[in-house]
Chains A and B, each alone.
Chain A
Amino acid sequence: MEWYQDFPHIGYDLEGKKIYKPIRNKDELDKFLEKMENPDYWRTVQDKMTGADIKLTDEQVDLVHRLQKGQFGDVHFDPYEPAIDFFSHEVMIHPVTNRPADKRSFIPSLIEKEKVSKLVHAIKMGWIKPRKPKEDTPSYYDLWAHEDPNSILGRHKMHVPAPKMKLPGHEESYNPPPEYLPSEEEKLAWEQQEPAERKLNFVPRQYRCLRAVPAYSRFIHERFERCLDLYLCPRQRKMRVNVDPEDLIPKLPKPRDLQPFPTTQALVYRGHSSLVRCLSICPGGQWLVSGSDDCTVRFWEVSTARCMKTLPLAGVVKSIAWNPNPTIRLVAIAVEQSVLLVNPSLGDKLLYGATDQLLESYVAPEEERVQPVQWVAATTEEHGKGIRLVIQHSRPVKQVTWHGKGDYFASVLADNSNMQVLIHQTSKRWSQNPFRKSKGLVQCVLFHPIRPYFFVATQRYVRVYNLLKQELTKKLMTNCKWVSSMAIHPGGDNIICGSYDSKLAWFDLDLSTRPYQLLRHHKKALRSVAFHKHYPLFASGSDDGSVIVCHGMVYNDLLQNPLLVPVKVLKGHALTWDLGVLDVLFHPTQPWVFSSGADGTVRLFT
């Protein structure tokens, strides 16, 4: 109907003509008036189909009322009629339907007969048996009735039985002794730890009585973890180290049996105001010379610790070496770019006079030879100080060392070129450069005491040159990062090398080019090492302020390896600027050791 809302008609008749809406010209006022005046207004409805007003009759109003109340529209309908059971439990004499029974209900079924006969046949043949009652309780018997006592596990011998669970200690008790209860901090620490890192997997607790103990919340977890361990955890047989730690300590000869060796500090030589870098001693053992960073060289009397002479120089004294020849009194001192040969003028006047004479008897050769250095005689002022000759190098000199005879000496320059090592001859005032090529930064050099060998230590290797044949004979691998010092056994077959990575390597030249033993005694870098001339002793000084004296016995029998035993740790030097002992030196005849330190002292241990 709403389609025609906006149209004047409300549909079409059979002939297709429009049916017009009745004309309604009532406005609101008219509607109101009618509402007020017409008493039947409430029962008047508009027929939407025709648009006409219809007045409802009394019956129609009544029907509307009934429907609104939810009652049946028909006045006469009774919803509560008594029910009549048509089908009941009582058997009736008459059938409900009068249909006669089928024929098939009187004839036995053929299909069923077939099925039954099949079953009967199967039962007869024993194919079908009555169902056995199921036994769900397992039956047990004596499984190990015929056990073989000697039988190992059936599979193989690699079986690793699972370790048993750890048995509980006192701390797991519900009422442990009070010392096992954790304090608050311990509890906090326990909570912050990772579960795998914890020593105990529970916090010990105390309960007043058994009744107060609650269930352990992780019980099932723990059993489950044990199960996982049993079948998932890889097993391995581990040999427990069951060693008495005392057995691990090597059995060494007692130091008491290896005497003599220096044991106590006897003298302190004071006077230097800065680090004492180098030490040297006269072959007779009466005079000691020390060079220091305060640009002086001091001569000491060994037995009294008295400073006999102080020689101020132009620069820091890097190295110092006393001529090993007992008939010559000459000390080589490395100061900056020059090597000074100094006559100390101590002791026997005949001796040092003879030395001066020897130096003066030099006659210069006719033709000047080309030399890598300049030999300059000392000026008179210098002569007064005792300086006799100055050998001027092109670079700063790091080290000087004498040959055993006392005529030749070698100097090491701080340089990268091939001119790092020079060998000088004092009597002829002649120098030469033995190497054509640089093989790395040379740390120190050494003459063999007996044979014409020359040792050159670079950072990691020690090269042994034969001076006669002019060839490389050996190259020793030190296994260290940076060699600092080197010393040779008076027998000439063994060398020790100290290194800045706090190792001391003992080489047996007959044995191999690798260290016979690598000693890690010091805690810090080694600065110097020394051998004793007569006694089987060697010493090493280190930045940790200690001097370790070791017994190093070399046997004449080639089959017997050297015996190395540390015998004494000597302490005395105070650490200054992280430096301890800078140089160590043995007395030529006595079992005494000198050490010079960064604290400006020289100490004698006897």
Chain B
Amino acid sequence: MGGLEKKKYQRGSATNYITRNKARKKLQLSLPDFRRLCILKGIYPHEPKHKKKVNKGSTAARTFYLLKDIKFLLHEPIVNKFREYKVFVRKLRKAYGKSEWSTVERLKDNKPSYKLDHIVKERYPTFIDALRDLDDALSMCFLFSTFPRTGKCHVQIIQLCRRLSVEFLNYVIASRSLRKVFLSIKGIYYQAEVLGQPITWITPYAFAHDHPTDVDYRVMATFTEFYTTLLGFVNFRLYHSLNLLYPPKIEGQSEVELKPTEGEAYAMDSESYLEKLSALSASLARVVAPTPEDDVEMDEFPVEGETAEQMDARKKEQEVLEKQKKLFEGLRFFLNREVPREPLAFIIRCFGGQVSWDKSLCIGATYDVSDPSITHQIVDRPRLEQQVVGRYYLQPQWVFDSVNAKLCLPVADYFPGVLLPPHLSPFVTEQEGDYIPPEKLKLLAMQRGENAGEESEEEEEEEEEDDNDDDDEEEEEEEDDSEKEEETKLKKMEEQKTQSKALPVKVTAGKVRLEDKQRLEQEQQSEEKRLAIMMMKKREKYLYKKIMFGKKRKVREANKLAEKRKAHDTAIKEEKKKNKKARRA
């Protein structure tokens, strides 16, 4: 036995990981500082494959970081800033203690601060990377911008968040990149497609927050600190990609005009700019004025290995997209005051519509209620006292559903006071075997262009439902097949038994047994399958059973939903009948 002695845990995975406490000691940081650094630099713990090996034989619960990550943190300039800040706090405390106010002032002026530009660049080497990770940043900024300006966190952060989120909304309007919206019970989900990347964010409903006590706002503030930096740079780049001025300017307003009398009455001079921007009603100024012949016909290059069908499909998709972008073009909306203004104004403007609201509600109203050219008025109250002829009065859900359906839906279902049709999530893509609500089927049919009369539609719906049920039953049958087989077998056996039991032998006329060939073949196949399953290896059998269990559960859940729907529909029908009878009587 030659060679050096191999010691345990000195090579392999044990050397690639480091526990949190060790990492902290190596960096000489306190735990809050370490956490802050991890948040800013995007360092996260890793779960090793063999935890016991990495943990040097112990099974205690520990979090592990990659050693490379920690080594990489060692050279971070921000760590020094953290230490400087610690010193600063110490000095300041001392000056306060000695009541040296001039020193306090001086120290406060020279408060150490750090920038996160290089970290953004480092974490997202390309712009696309940054866009991919924008979901959380946007959601966080939108949440922070709704916080009250007192307590919880610094006012500057809240203002910055508000500014950045408004800028982003303005970009989405200018680029018309909004794709999906969804009213959930948690908030409003939006999905935009920026440079081919889907970006989803959620905004809370505009109510005061019930601030929870078990939430660490410092952690959230650290995240927000990074996210605001990221979002600022992304906004800058996005604005420049559209030839827009970056600190955005509202079109058609020079510096002098920026202080109209109306604005002064509404807000302070410093705030009126942001308020106007957040009204989302005016378009933005461009660096280069767009010429009407800007839309150059894109040349098409067939991608290799793409069939004509695929190309057609792509073309069609493109067309649908273009159509969706101009969904509300030419329509003039008016928002009543009980309707959430910002989301609706944002959505309508994103699809080319014009929007206004009451002048006293918010700055930036462009026309009045009495304007005769208004085509749609969004209303959220049970009934209206006086209605103007020539415009539709609609509930806000119409706007959301139309955007998701990519076409202007028939307005009849959305009149004020009417029981609304269900609002479906646009984020669900049903696969085969999943449950599809009948409303979705209807919508898909409408998108395909099958626009029959309503009655026939209802029939269709019913038929589809029936089809669904049939399918389900078939599936169930398939499930039950094996059981049935066994049953039949047992029955046969019983028959034989009874026959053989009847010992006083009697000869009765035999019956020609009709054998269903298909059925027989099926049985044989399923038996073969069962025999083959018997021969599977233990591990594979386990996996197979797990997969089949998951599939069956899925089918079960879909069936359950379908059943519930059926019960609900029949209940409603019966009620209708009763009402009819009551009316007749």
Contact = CB atoms under 8 A, between A and B. Distances in A.
- Of A215, A218, A565, chain B has the most CB atoms within 10 Å of the CB of A215
Given A144-B237, A177-B439, A172 B69 contact: no
A138 B226 CA distance: 12
A235 B189 CA distance: 26
B44 A245 contact: no
A215 B535 contact: no
Contacts of A179: 437, 561-562, 564-565, 568
A509 to B, nearest CB: 22
B437 A170 contact: yes
B331 interface: no
B46 A169 contact: no
Nearest to B144: A223
B547 A245 contact: yes
B544 A245 contact: yes
B85 interface: no
Dominant secondary structure of chain B at its interface with chain A: helix
Contacts of A161: 132-133
Nearest to B397: A210
B184 interface: yes
Interface stretch (B117-125, B170-178, B577-585): B117-125
Q: How large is the interface on B (under 10, 10 to 19, 20 to 34, 35 or more residues)?
A: 35 or more
A110 interface: no
B125 A211 contact: no
Contacts of A131: 109
Given A152-B125, A567-B531, A215 B207 contact: yes
Interface in B126-145: 126-127, 129-130, 132-133, 135-136, 139-140, 143
A250 B219 contact: no
A214 B496 contact: no
Interface in B433-461: 437-439
Interface in B209-232: 209-212, 214-216, 219-220, 223, 228-229, 232
A213 B338 CA distance: 12
Given A138-B229, A219-B209, A147 B127 contact: yes
A169 B535 contact: no
A111 interface: no
Interface in A280-322: none
B35 interface: yes
Interface in A221-267: 221-224, 226-228, 230-236, 241, 243, 245, 248-250, 252, 254-256, 265
B204 A169 contact: no
Contacts of A151: 125-126
Given A138-B229, A175-B422, A235 B125 contact: no
B45 A233 contact: yes
Contacts of A256: 524
Contacts of A221: 212, 214-215
- Of B189, B532, B543, chain A has the most CB atoms within 10 Å of the CB of B532
B427 A235 contact: no
Interface string B467-503: 0000000000000000000000110010011001000
- Of A228, A235, A566, A567, chain B has the most CB atoms within 10 Å of the CB of A566
B232 A210 contact: no
B425 A169 contact: yes
Given A176-B422, A226-B136, A231-B38, A255 B528 contact: yes
A249 B544 CA distance: 8
19 contacts: A156-B66, A162-B136, A164-B200, A170-B425, A170-B428, A173-B424, A177-B422, A204-B185, A210-B340, A210-B395, A214-B207, A216-B185, A216-B205, A227-B140, A227-B220, A231-B39, A234-B47, A245-B544, A249-B536
Given A144-B126, A220-B211, A233-B44, 16 more contacts: A138-B115, A154-B122, A167-B200, A172-B425, A177-B422, A179-B564, A209-B395, A210-B397, A215-B204, A216-B205, A226-B136, A228-B219, A230-B223, A235-B47, A241-B547, A249-B532
Interface of B: 35, 38-39, 43-49, 63-64, 66, 68-69, 72, 109, 115, 117, 120-127, 129-130, 132-133, 135-136, 139-140, 143, 156, 160, 182-187, 189, 200, 204-205, 207-212, 214-216, 219-220, 223, 228-229, 232-233, 235-237, 240, 246, 338-340, 380-381, 395-397, 419-420, 422-425, 427-428, 437-439, 489-490, 493, 496-497, 500, 524, 527-536, 538, 540, 543-544, 547-548, 551, 561-562, 564-565, 568
